[in-house]
Amino acid sequence: MNPIEVITEYWPRLLDGTIMTIKLTFLGAFIAALVSPGLALVRAYSNSFAQAPLRLYISFMRGTPILAQLFLIYYGSGQFRPILQEWGLWTFFRDPFNCALLAFALNSTAYQTEILRGGIMGVAQGEVEAARAIGMSRIKTLRRVVFPHAYRIAWPALGNEIILLMKASALASVVTVFDIMGRTRQVFSRTFDFSIYLWAAIIYLCITAMFVILWRQAELRLSPHIEPRPRPRTAMQPAKEPRA
């Protein structure tokens, strides 16, 4: 079979896989985006004693392979089957999609929290003081001053994190979720035609490219008042490389 025949015959499967990959990535990123602002506030403002469990969680999530986290949830839940059944949670953990989603959401929460914390810390103290001075309450200050600016600072890094999550979602194929990678392996095991991998690579690159464009558009919308111009570097302000 030539590469064209492969794609004409198997495109419905790949499309199916593409939808699954997008679903998994965006649901995971979305759940993490709901949880991470609160955690980032804790990381930025609370005392180190209250932060300890959060730091442990973030360090664990960043220091272990996602594959291991996925196995810990998907296979590991089997060890507690009787308890989970009693609580009615077993139907959730039995489904590989749910486990993959949970693993990705937990993982992405850790990364997004750290990124947002960086954004919150990057908001100039004077802005917060100004907001307080004109009588904004703490919550109002957060909502109108701190978070809008923090998100603007964190936006590119958040985009990178979502791309990393999209790439990591290919791991779900290992626990039999039929995303792009899962479909590709399925087709390969049937046809032994290598070109299916190249088609999968093209799909992943297209998703990434489209996402990058959309994210960039959203960034321009987020900061309409900031003109996109390259800032001249002077000797007084050396470029700072952010540590990933």
Interacting residue ranges for another protein, rule: CB under 8 A: 59-60, 62-69, 71-72, 75-80, 163, 166-171, 173-174, 181, 184-185, 188, 194, 197-198, 200-201, 204-205, 208-209, 238-239, 241, 243-244
72 versus 222: smaller Cβ distance to another protein: 72
Q: Give the C-alpha distances (Å, rounded to integers) separating 141 from 57, 123, 216, 222, 239.
A: 28, 12, 27, 18, 30
191 versus 223: smaller Cβ distance to another protein: 191
> At CA 13, angle to CA 12 and CA 14, rounded to 5?
95
130 versus 201: smaller Cβ distance to another protein: 201
141 versus 169: smaller Cβ distance to another protein: 169
Write the CB contacts of 30 (distance below 8 Å, at least 6 apart in sequence). Answer: none
CB of 68 to another protein, least distance (A): 5
> At CA 129, angle to CA 218 and CA 229, rounded to 5?
35
CB of 236 to another protein, least distance (A): 11
Q: Give the C-alpha distances (Å, rounded to integers) separating 234 from 4, 134, 231, 238, 239.
A: 53, 35, 9, 7, 9
CB of 136 to another protein, least distance (A): 33
CB of 223 to another protein, least distance (A): 24
139 versus 239: smaller Cβ distance to another protein: 239
Write the CB contacts of 37 (distance below 8 Å, at least 6 apart in sequence). Answer: 116, 147
CB of 125 to another protein, least distance (A): 18
- Closest of 175, 52, 47, 161 to residue 107, by C-alpha: 161
